[in-house]
Structure 1
Amino acid sequence: MDQATPHTVQSLTSDLRALDVGAGDVLLLHSSNRSLGFVAGGIEAVVRALLAALGPDGTLVVPTHTPHNTDPAGWQHPPVPESWWSVIREQTPGFDPSRTPSRWMGAVPEVLRAWPGADFEATGAATVGRVGDATARLMPQPALVDFATTWMATHSSSPPGDTGHGNSL
């Protein structure tokens, strides 16, 4: 490990501010926990640092993706046999932001999903979670979800479902 000291809420907040993340910003985050190294307090500390850098007027937005809540006929990563489709359709619960886990997006979206004040919007498999002041203004905009999905698809060098890709915070 090339890290002299563990990251903390304070050090991460300082690093985010050095990257020009500021109070009142709306930050669309796609992160890699492995890229961070050791963080005292784990992913909760990362979320606390993000929210501290954004301040009470800022908003944190994370893609949460729930592809398992889509029609299995369109699944490609991995595809499932057609003989399974009816069972999957009948047995898959509907999207519930308090219970439906995200897939392939890492720990930050999962922690944010349970964060006080978090809100979610679902557009098919492309769900997005938000915490912060701009949440009410962002909720009715499916274009944000489409943008996040398209951006991640074009900027990832790994196949969908590979949680080890090199995108970083």
Structure 2
Amino acid sequence: MNERPIILKQDLLEGLQSIGIEKGQSIMVHTSLSSFGYVCGGAQVIIEALLEGVGEEGTIMMPTQSWKNLDPSYGVHWEEPEKWWPLIREHWPAYDKDITPTNTMGAVAEMFRKWPGTLRSDHPARSVAAYGKNAKYLVSQHDLSDIFGETSPLAKLYEIDGYVLLLGTGYDKNTSLHLADVRANYPSKHMEENSSAMMVNGKREWVTYSTLYVDGEDFEEIGKAFEETMTVNKVSLGNAQLRFMKQRELVDFAIEWIEQYRK
């Protein structure tokens, strides 16, 4: 029987340093806590290591999506019978960035959204949270219809030449690839309507808005091709693999890949 490895905070700090984490960087982080083995201190020490790694002049950002706050017809309430959908639309709680929990973003992101000093964007279903020097800039004015596009936190990270860090996750979780979705031209690209519960002028409303259709089925293929061509710093830590890359390089590569291969 294989034993789970134990990961200490110092192991995390050394691992992050070995793949290029430095003071002052702004980094979008995707994490799977369970992938490591046993992390002594859990989500807390991972967040502490990340914040110490970039220092006071750096910024850490994570997805804190609450995608259950989308229309049931979108498939997000697949466990529930269709006859309940009208009730869900009428009674699902309005998004509150201080209260609304994440959905399947993992224990680290869920703790991070409540970390003292962390700021969270206003999007009711696709929010991000950030801590550090550039946090306010990154999460501000997250437009309802521009989830991953030119006014989004992802585009702002691109503007400041930020990074992407995958801690035990694959490219299927690499949100920055959605920015490439927005910028690429391909035949199946299209808009869709969705709805979320929000507070509007002090009143809960079920708000419908138009967004780009989110397509991530080929993200693992894009990631594999990217690693065959570009530089991705890697290190194993426990049972997890850490990957660190420049976000601009990833997005620019993905645009070309999508335009060449996506139908």
> Could you say which residue in structure 2 is the equivalent of 1:142?
152
Q: Deviations over 1:102-148 (max 9, x none)?
A: 11111111110110111111434211111111112212342518x54
Structure 1 residues 75 and 122: alpha-carbon distance in aligned structure 2, compared to 1, 3 A threshold:
farther
* 4+ runs deviating over 6 angstroms: none
> Could you say which residue in structure 1 is the equivalent of 2:133?
133
> How many angstroms does 1:155 deviate by?
3.1
> How many angstroms does 1:8 deviate by?
2.1
Structure with higher strand content: 2
Counterpart Cα distance in 2 of 1:70 and 1:60: 26
Counterpart Cα distance in 1 of 2:89 and 2:177: 24
Q: Deviations over 1:19-53 (max 9, x none)?
A: 10111111111111122221111110111011110
Structure 2 unaligned residues grouped into runs of 5+: 141-150, 156-174, 180-214, 222-239, 243-263
> How many angstroms does 1:149 deviate by?
6.9
When the two structures are superposed, what TM-score results if normalisation uses the length of structure 2? 0.53
The amino acid that maps onto 1:142 is: S
> Could you say which residue in structure 2 is the equivalent of 1:155?
219
Q: Deviations over 1:71-108 (max 9, x none)?
A: 22322572754422220012111111222111111111
Structure 1 unaligned residues grouped into runs of 5+: 158-166
Q: Greater relative contact order: 1 or 2 (C-alpha under 8 angstroms, separation 6 or more)?
A: 1
After the TM superposition, which residues 27-46 of structure 1 pair with which residues of structure 2 at under 5 Å, given as runs? 27-46=27-46
Which of these two proteins has the greater Rg computed from alpha carbons?
A: 2
Counterpart Cα distance in 1 of 2:71 and 2:39: 38
Percent identity over the alignment is: 31
Contact 1:118/1:131, CA 8 A, preserved across alignment: yes
Counterpart Cα distance in 1 of 2:59 and 2:26: 5
DSSP 3-state at the match of 2:30: coil
> How many angstroms does 1:12 deviate by?
0.6
Structure 1 residues 70 and 77: alpha-carbon distance in aligned structure 2, compared to 1, 3 A threshold:
closer
User: Relative to structure 2, which stretch is displaced further, 71-80 or 20-29?
Assistant: 71-80
DSSP 3-state at the match of 1:30: strand
Contact 2:68/2:77, CA 8 A, preserved across alignment: no
Contact 2:22/2:53, CA 8 A, preserved across alignment: yes
Contact 1:8/1:39, CA 8 A, preserved across alignment: yes
Contact 2:66/2:101, CA 8 A, preserved across alignment: yes
Counterpart Cα distance in 2 of 1:87 and 1:125: 18
Structure with higher helix content: 1
Structure 1 residues 2 and 101: alpha-carbon distance in aligned structure 2, compared to 1, 3 A threshold:
closer
